[in-house]
Structure 1
Amino acid sequence: MSPLKLPRTLRLDPSDTFVFAPAAEPGEWAVTGSFLFFDADLSALAGKERAAFRSGFVGVRSLGFSTLVVVSEASEAEREEAVEDLARHIHARFGAPDREAARAAAREEIAVAASLCNLPVGSVIAMHRSARDGEIAEEFRTLHQRPPGADPLHGRAFHFVETDEDGPEEQADLVGLVSGASTGTGRP
């Protein structure tokens, strides 16, 4: 029997705390969380709600959002704890008629999350959620670590080089650029 694997929230930097309200705690068991948006007017979402809809996995303990999850081994007891945590929210906050109905819904969400983990432990997953033809669609991608010896600059948008040259320093007059654009002169 293969080991049980579930996604855990992953925070590589503090950006989730700025992007989402609330952000999931690092290391929480996670689900995709699309059920949070079933009754939402998706075209009216803005700001942090829109960011959560587009790319947020949901931590089952906090119902906070995380941009990334990592495939992790889980024990049967941890899976059941995740089901109970999510079931508590589904019952208390989303109106499940009773705890058994909430547990059934939570088990289904956890099963969907586990189906994403048919990858090696440590694989990082990102999601893009969108609305298509009145339905919520989820797309997933796996982020891979660079192999040892790979070009360390590959994939970077900028590369900074320190020089000792005493040449002219570049300057930009941003206020002049904006005022020139507003007057129509287009001159810096």
Structure 2
Amino acid sequence: MSGTKLARAIHLDESDMNVFFSPARAGEWAISGGFEFSNWGEADLTGKARQAFANGWLGVETFGRVTFVAVTQVEDSELHDIARGLAQHFVDLYGAPNVEAAMGVAQEEIAHMIDLCADHDPNTLLTVERELTEAGVRERFRSIKPDAAQLDQVAVHAVPEDDVPKL
């Protein structure tokens, strides 16, 4: 396994299902996603949009938001697919001309998240706090090291519901 770390969305309770318009799926890879708010002003910060701005990580599969992410190893072979999916999101939602043109920005976003995760042990939880300033969006990141027994109960890498055996 590679030494590269990234973060996966994690739900400690059901609150994300209620506070975000579109919650990220547990277990999907996640990045800060602060770029979504680059043109926002105070008038945009209401209700669930405010919560996404203030504390939401961006899942890079569903493009939903999540409050907590857990640091974990990522295979180098997965990074290209993650970047390609994010580049496609830039085409679909932000008007990038094509995936190839958007790949550099997608790779920069992923590299930023890899840098955030690099000095943390696997299973460390990360949170993000954002605020609007005159210079733009300011992000602060915090880490939480829960004891291993508690984390083992919640930091299970989710599998798609279709892959869960039926009883």
Query: What is the TM-score with the length of structure 1 in the denominator?
Result: 0.74
Structure 1 unpaired stretches of 5+ = 149-188
Alignment of 1:3-14 (within 5 A): 3-14=3-14
The Cα shift of 1:134 comes to 3.3
Q: CA RMSD in A?
A: 1.7
What is the distance in 1 between the residues matched to 2:42 and 2:68? 22
What is the distance in 2 between the residues matched to 1:42 and 1:8? 29
Note the alpha carbon deviations across 1:20-64, whole angstroms, 9 max, x for none: 010000011111011111122344320000000000000011110
SS of structure 2 residue aligned to 1:26: coil
Q: Considering only CA atoms, is the larger Rg found in Structure 1 or Structure 2?
A: 1
Please say if residues 84 and 99 of structure 2, whose CA atoms lie closer than 8 Å, have aligned partners that are also in contact.
no
Q: Relative contact order, CA 8 A, sep 6+: which one is greater? A: 2
Structure 2 unpaired stretches of 5+ = 150-167
Identity of aligned residues (%): 36
The Cα shift of 1:120 comes to 0.5
SS of structure 2 residue aligned to 1:71: strand
Runs (4+) of structure 1 exceeding 4 A deviation are none
Match of 1:89 in 2: 89
What is the distance in 2 between the residues matched to 1:146 and 1:72? 16
The Cα shift of 1:101 comes to 1.8
Match of 1:76 in 2: 76
SS of structure 2 residue aligned to 1:21: coil
What is the distance in 2 between the residues matched to 1:17 and 1:147? 25
**Which structure: greater helix fraction?**
2
What is the distance in 2 between the residues matched to 1:82 and 1:35? 17
Alignment of 1:132-143 (within 5 A): 132-143=133-144
Note the alpha carbon deviations across 1:66-86, whole angstroms, 9 max, x for none: 000100100012111111111
| Number of residue pairs aligned between Structure 1 and Structure 2 | 148
